[in-house]
Amino acid sequence: MSSQTVANFLKVIATRRTIYKLQPQLPAGVTTKDIQAVVEAIIKDTPTAFNSQVNRAIILTGESHKKVWDAVTNGIDAEAGKLRPASARDEAFGSIIFFTDDKTTEKLQADFPAWAAAFPQFADHSSGAAQITSWDALEVLGLGAHLQHYNPLVRAALPADVPKGWSVHSQLVFGLPAEAAGEKTFIDNKVQIFQ
Ligand SMILES: Cc1cc2nc3c(=O)[nH]c(=O)nc-3n(C[C@H](O)[C@H](O)[C@H](O)COP(=O)(O)O)c2cc1C
């Protein structure tokens, strides 16, 4: 791998940011099917414990997206708490819902009892990897996105044919970016080499 390839890879990682202000559109030349293909590829190639392939995802757009975010908004009592899900409903184009499949985790626990306690956490790790790589890819496609965790409210409002045995991990809300990312500060966080 050339140093330019690594630099490009790192640039993608650094350029992915939280963008809350969105418009309910896709960039010119990008379709929902493109996003589907990218997320499928990421889920296929994201490593999972014992290659269990525990990750699942769906993409909500149109009425499905609006219905879920309307339910989340209505499920929150505090007016201030409604603002974020209402903005997802009204300003985003869609959302990717990330899940892990409980049956897959339970089978690992049955097959490898010595590791049973670790498998839910391994599913979390793998889901996180798929979520953040997908977020990176949306950035490359010219989309803005933010990551949310209204998991129980989202679960209750999902289309009926989403399997009940899939646990919701997060919602990656996306659309056309309508603002630049905010300022971000960093700690001094060196990775030491020990020899
Ligand atoms: C695991 C994880 C959980 C997060 N949960 C939320 C969330 O529930 N709501 C939200 O608005 N942002 C959430 N974020 C976004 C972070 O606040 C954001 O990534 C962080 O402040 C760094 O900013 P950046 O995304 O612009 O780099 C989450 C990010 C990560 C990685």
154 C-alpha vs ligand 1 centroid, how far in Å?
18
Ligand 1 pocket, CB under 6 A: 17-18, 146-149, 181, 184
Task: Report, as an integer, the average pLDDT of 31-53.
Answer: 98
Residue minimizing CA distance to atom 31 of ligand 1? 132
Task: Report, as an integer, the average pLDDT of 25-53.
Answer: 98
CA angle 167, 168, 170 (to 5 degrees): 150
Ligand 1 pocket: which of 18, 97, 135 to mutate (most atoms within 8 A of CB): 18
pLDDT, averaged across the chain: 98
Q: Which residues contact 71 (CB under 8 A, 6 or more apart)?
A: 153, 156, 157
Give the position, in ligand 1's atom list, of the atom nearest the Cα of 181. Answer: 26
What whole-number distance in Å separates Cα of residue 179 and Cα of residue 22? 7
What whole-number distance in Å separates Cα of residue 135 and Cα of residue 38? 11
147 C-alpha vs ligand 1 centroid, how far in Å?
6
Q: Where are the domains of the chain?
A: 15-177
User: Which residue is it, tokens 């985790």?
Assistant: 105
Question: Cβ(178)–Cβ(22) under 8 Å?
Answer: yes
Return the number of other C-beta atoms located less than 10 Å from residue 62's C-beta. 11
Bridge partners for 177 per DSSP: 22
15-177 classified as CATH 3.30.365.10: no
148 C-alpha vs ligand 1 centroid, how far in Å?
8
1 C-alpha vs ligand 1 centroid, how far in Å?
30
What are the two backbone dihedrals, phi and then psi, of residue 116, each rounded to the nearest 5 degrees? -55, -45
Q: List the alpha helices (DSSP H) in the chain.
A: 3-15, 32-45, 62-74, 79-91, 102-111, 119-140, 151-157
What whole-number distance in Å separates Cα of residue 137 and Cα of residue 22? 17
Indicate the pLDDT class of residue 1, thresholds 50, 70 and 90: low
Q: For residue 2, what pLDDT is reported?
A: 82
Residue percentage of the chain with pLDDT more than 70:
99
Residue minimizing CA distance to atom 8 of ligand 1? 148
Residue 121 has pLDDT above 70, yes or no: yes
Give the position, in ligand 1's atom list, of the atom nearest the Cα of 135. Answer: 25
Residue minimizing CA distance to atom 9 of ligand 1? 148
Q: For residue 174, what pLDDT is reported?
A: 99
Tokens of 60: 């909500």
Residue 92 has pLDDT above 80, yes or no: yes
